[in-house]
Amino acid sequence: MYLLPKPKQMEKREGTFCLNYLSRIVIAPEIRENGRVYASILKECAETFAGFSLRTVAGVPGKGDIFLTLGEGLASQEYCLEVEADQIRVSGGDGAGVLYGVETLCQIIEQCGPAMDCVRITDSPDLPHRGYYLDETRGRVLKLDYLKKVVDRLCRYKVNELQLYVEHTYLFAGLSEMWRDETPLTAEEIMELDAYCRERHVELVPSLSSFGHLYTLLSTKTYGELCEMENSWKQPFSYIDRMRHHTINVGDERALPLIKSMLEEYMALFSTDKFNFCGDETFDLGKGKAKPLADEKGVHRIYIDYIKELCEFLVEKGKQPMFWGDVICGEPELVKELPENVICLTWGYAPDQSDDAARKMAQTGVKQYLCPGVGSWNQWMPLIRSSYQNIVRMCSYAQKYGAIGVLNTDWGDFGHIAHPEYSVTGMIYGASFSWNHENIPFEEINRQISQVQFHDASGRIVDLLAQAGEQEMFNWRMVVTNYEIHALGNTFDWEPDFAKLTGAEAQASLKKAQETLEGLKKQIKETVIHMDSSRRGMTGIYEHTIDGIAIWNEVGRVLLSRRTEEGADGIKAEGPFSEAEYQLADRLETWFMFYKEIWRQVSREGDLAHLGEIVFWYADCLRGRNRGSRIS
């Protein structure tokens, strides 16, 4: 039996506890209100995995019962789970502790059924704040029902903070030009989610771009003039432009009142006292309209003055400010000008991430979260090994430098193409190592996650998915960059690296990747028999994703085989396009039709139309239709 996060103390005892039809869930009077939520989680688990429908009562437990109560001497979030031969007792230092004990018990029931070996577990977290950061703006806008499932999963693995990244996907009053085609979240939905989180001891923290990354706001005719760079509202949609530009002009006196009004409207929907106003990646700051101000005061000075203004505004409103630390890390001493309770979000996503930023910010004395990532952005399947290495490092730095929390990020660069279920493994890495920093090797924790989360008795599914993500040769970043250069005529300071697809050695690697993908489909199907029915529903989606990786690899190979320096479109003019190329175009379009169906199961429309424009452009290239544009 495996438990995630791994408990600090676990003592096996003699005997077995067996649920029976008379067993009850008994809630102690002091936790009766929220205790009903804890009991409902346990009740559903017992019915599904043990086959018994337990009654829920309040009062004094008897033989065969499960008792939920507060425990003397236990700290906040700490729990003690005692499985004895005649009774189960879940004690917590507070409501969160009781809930975490219940979630541990649920993991036991899912693996053992109604007959459980006796055990005593005492456990508490290394870090008080263990968060998950989900991009809800740059591609996918997840449906409310699915967001609640995300919360349930966070709860299962003892994650106690959730932030949804928003730029323009909330229905702000008076800003219809910004959100009109973005299927935004409504106030009612956010407040409902906030209440759902609160009952499960997950703090829903608002996260709103307010400095850089204001692409959609600053692409409107109404507010385009507030962009640092000229004529932002005149440019066609571009994924790369959305990532690199659209910083607000801090020298314009209209900027702060607009941003403050958005912050104030948004904060009213949340019960938390925290607010993440982002403030990251201000690439254009001082390079356009605010250049005279930057020349006079310096870029870091105009940056910190703006950040300080937003922090003080939030403090006045009773909020604890949070912001990303990538810019201030260049001049860390500037953080001392900010309010004392500010939280710096120190991020880094490389598998070999340095501790420089964490160390620099720790030396200033600022409160900080360390922020790794699940490695899913720009991927059809996440880079699972890379994310493991990154998360383990960042969680260790959190311990080393006295961070108060970890915020594990799931970004949506270039359309958030990966199915959100694929981020689960990375989310569990973050949950596990922020609760208990004890190292678990990559292969071992993957085996444990396969059994605990995927109910795969063979312990193989996570490893198979990890292999699939490593076979992307014509990856989505290359796909998008190539498209924007040759279809939109955009110019960038880099071009796609086609080394993986050109030359004899690369062709051999590509052939091996395609063979590996085909083999992985078969192996994944073989694991299904080892899963219970509750976890088999993703099998078809796994195969669809693997097919997508293989199709895009082939698209890259075919298009590069037609590269030429002659002609306006970069396509060899001589000879008709082959039947195989037409068939590949058909495969791509058919695959995307199913992709849209899968997308809509959990997400609103979001960026689906933009993704379609790219897919169909490549399909047309395969048929020789895009004669007026270069393909590579």
Q: Residues 438, 443, 449, 451: what is their CA dihedral angle, to the nearest 10 degrees?
A: -120
Q: What is the pLDDT of residue 105?
A: 98
Of the candidates 229, 214, 136, 135, the one whose C-alpha atom is nearest the C-alpha of residue 175 is 214
The residue type found at 141 is V
| Domain extents in the chain | 9-123, 131-439, 467-622
pLDDT tens-digit series, residues 186-206: 999 999 999 999 999 999 999
pLDDT band, residue 499 (cuts 50/70/90): low
Whole-number Cα distances in Å, 368 to 346, 365, 605: 7, 9, 35
Q: Residue range 12-31: average pLDDT?
A: 97
d(CA 264, CA 174): 14
Q: What is the pLDDT of residue 563?
A: 63
Of the candidates 110, 84, 81, 82, the one whose C-alpha atom is nearest the C-alpha of residue 97 is 81
Of the candidates 389, 285, 267, 277, the one whose C-alpha atom is nearest the C-alpha of residue 325 is 277
Query: What are the structure tokens assigned to 513, written together?
Result: 């990747």
- Would strands 55-58 and 115-123 be described as parallel, antiparallel, or unpaired? unpaired
d(CA 160, CA 198): 10
Residue with tokens 């395969």: 622
Whether residue 225 has pLDDT greater than 50? yes
Least confident of 137-151, 306-320, 618-632: 618-632
Q: Are 561 and 570 in contact (CB under 8 A)?
A: no
pLDDT tens-digit series, residues 352-405: 999 999 999 999 999 999 999 999 999 999 999 999 999 999 999 999 999 999
Q: How many CB atoms lie within 10 A of CB 332?
A: 18
pLDDT tens-digit series, residues 596-609: 999 999 999 999 99
Least confident of 13-22, 162-171, 226-235: 226-235
Q: Is pTM beyond 0.75 here?
A: yes
Give the length of the chain: 632
The residue type found at 372 is P
Whether residue 578 has pLDDT greater than 90? no
pLDDT tens-digit series, residues 531-548: 999 899 999 999 999 999
Of the candidates 113, 114, 158, the one whose C-alpha atom is nearest the C-alpha of residue 132 is 158
pLDDT tens-digit series, residues 453-498: 999 999 999 999 999 999 999 999 999 999 998 888 888 776 666 7
Q: What is the pLDDT of residue 501?
A: 73
Q: Are 76 and 93 in contact (CB under 8 A)?
A: yes
pLDDT band, residue 559 (cuts 50/70/90): confident
Q: Are 290 and 237 in contact (CB under 8 A)?
A: no
Whether residue 62 has pLDDT greater than 90? yes
pLDDT band, residue 565 (cuts 50/70/90): very low
Q: How many CB atoms lie within 10 A of CB 180?
A: 13
Q: Are 417 and 476 in contact (CB under 8 A)?
A: yes
Q: Residue range 494-518: average pLDDT?
A: 82
d(CA 299, CA 89): 58
At the fourth CATH level, which superfamily is domain 131-439? Answer: Glycosidases (3.20.20.80)
- Would strands 343-347 and 320-324 be described as parallel, antiparallel, or unpaired? parallel
Look over the chain and give the mean of its residue pLDDT values, rounded to a whole number. 94
Q: What is the pLDDT of residue 33?
A: 86
Q: Residue range 251-267: average pLDDT?
A: 97
φ/ψ of 507, rounded to 5, equals: -65, -35
Query: What are the structure tokens assigned to 343, written together?
Result: 């939280």
Residue 481 buriedness (CB in 10 A; 0-12 / 13-18 / 19+): buried
Topology, domain 9-123: Chitobiase; domain 2 (3.30.379)
Q: What is the pLDDT of residue 545?
A: 98
d(CA 597, CA 373): 27
Strands (E), 305-432: 320-324, 343-347, 367-371, 405-410
Whether residue 574 has pLDDT greater than 60? no
Q: Are 78 and 123 in contact (CB under 8 A)?
A: yes
d(CA 397, CA 35): 35
Residue, of 578 and 26, whose pLDDT is higher: 26
Residue 264's contacts (CB-CB under 8 Å, 6 or more residues apart) are 317
Query: What are the structure tokens assigned to 567, written together?
Result: 């002609």
Whole-number Cα distances in Å, 391 to 99, 112, 114, 217: 25, 30, 35, 33
Residue 162's contacts (CB-CB under 8 Å, 6 or more residues apart) are 131, 132, 133, 134, 150, 151, 154, 197, 202, 203, 204, 205
Whether residue 566 has pLDDT greater than 70? no
Query: What are the structure tokens assigned to 53, written together?
Result: 């429908």
Q: Residue range 623-630: average pLDDT?
A: 64
d(CA 386, CA 407): 17
DSSP for 480-530, written as a single string = HHHHHHHTS----S----GGGGSSHHHHHHHHHHHHHHHHHHHHHHHHHTT
Query: What are the structure tokens assigned to 560, written together?
Result: 């590069």
pLDDT band, residue 245 (cuts 50/70/90): confident
Q: Are 4 and 428 in contact (CB under 8 A)?
A: yes
Which sign does the torsion angle of CA 213, 214, 219, 223 carry?
A: negative
Whether residue 284 has pLDDT greater than 60? yes
- Would strands 405-410 and 129-135 be described as parallel, antiparallel, or unpaired? parallel
Q: Residues 527, 530, 535, 537: what is their CA dihedral angle, to the nearest 10 degrees?
A: 50
d(CA 439, CA 531): 27
Q: What is the pLDDT of residue 324?
A: 98
Give the CA count within 13 Å in the CB-facing half-sphere of 5: 30
Q: Residue range 325-336: average pLDDT?
A: 95
pLDDT tens-digit series, residues 116-166: 999 999 999 999 999 999 999 999 999 999 999 999 999 999 999 999 999
Q: What is the pLDDT of residue 568?
A: 38
The CA-to-CA distance between both ends of the chain, in Å, stands at: 52
Q: What is the pLDDT of residue 515?
A: 97
Q: Are 309 and 241 in contact (CB under 8 A)?
A: no
Q: Quick one: what percent of the chain has pLDDT higher than 70?
A: 96
pLDDT band, residue 232 (cuts 50/70/90): confident
pLDDT band, residue 629 (cuts 50/70/90): very low
